[in-house]
């Protein structure tokens, strides 16, 4: 049963409990009415929780093979300071002031066992945040850091919820974080791709390739 269907069923059961409560009150069966009201509240609460999970899951994208997840462009604005522009596959642009020598992008991946995949439940992912980091351990420890969300916070944290109950969910395989990082440089452009194995970053222009060569 899909999550949407489960929400509808729970809502229907809650409605039936309410109808039963009204009938019990009319027949002056207050004990039965109280039980029916409690049942309605329980079903409505489960439906609300399922709705929150569905809303959180909607922010994740299906992942069946390697696919583009966005592009990063950098402009130097000072010492250890860069302006980064993240461009999503849909063309939406987000600007970030990043400090450091390198950029890092993090993702969350929810993976299902092959049987669940055959039933239409695909591996899904969501880019979580972008941050700056320093090549030097001393700078990483002492210098200011910058990090930004790439998705708004969830009302119900699906990631945390699955961490708590994953052993009870049939077909669920693993959830894990993945990150990629490369050097920032003036004019550098990188492609971000993601696969069931994690985040992949590749240089798209000469400035990015030169930065990587010097970085190694």
Can you give the pLDDT at residue 176?
58
Tens-place pLDDT, residues 113-157: 654 444 445 667 788 889 999 999 999 999 999 999 987 765 555
Neighbours of 61 (CB within 10 A): 15
Measuring CA to CA, which residue among 101, 86, 106 is closest to residue 133? 101
* 51-94 confidence digits (pLDDT tens): 554 555 554 555 566 788 899 999 999 999 999 999 998 899 99
The domain limits of the chain are 3-57, 63-215
- Residue 57 CA, chain-centre distance (Å), reads 8
Amino acid 1: pLDDT: 42
């Amino acid at each position: 049963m899909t999550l949407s269907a489960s929400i509808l069923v729970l809502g229907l059961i809650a409605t039936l409990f309410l109808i039963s409560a009204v009938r019990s009150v009319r027949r002056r069966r207050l004990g039965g009415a109280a039980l029916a009201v409690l049942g309605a509240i329980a079903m409505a609460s489960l439906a609300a929780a399922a709705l929150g999970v569905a809303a959180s899951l909607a922010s994740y994208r299906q992942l069946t093979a390697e696919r583009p997840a966005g592009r990063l462009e950098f402009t130097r604005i000072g010492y250890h300071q860069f302006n980064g522009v993240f461009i999503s596959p849909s063309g939406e642009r987000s600007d970030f002031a990043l400090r450091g020598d390198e950029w890092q992008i993090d993702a969350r991946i929810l993976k299902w066992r092959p049987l669940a995949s055959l039933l239409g439940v695909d591996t899904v992912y969501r880019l979580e945040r972008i941050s700056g980091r320093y090549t030097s351990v001393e700078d990483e420890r002492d210098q200011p850091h910058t990090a930004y969300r790439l998705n708004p916070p969830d009302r119900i944290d699906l990631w945390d919820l699955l961490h708590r109950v994953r052993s009870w969910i049939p077909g669920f395989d693993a959830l894990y974080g993945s990150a990629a990082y490369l050097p920032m440089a003036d004019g550098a452009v990188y492609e971000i791709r993601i696969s069931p194995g994690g985040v992949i970053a590749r240089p798209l222009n000469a400035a990015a390739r030169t930065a990587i060569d010097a970085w190694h």
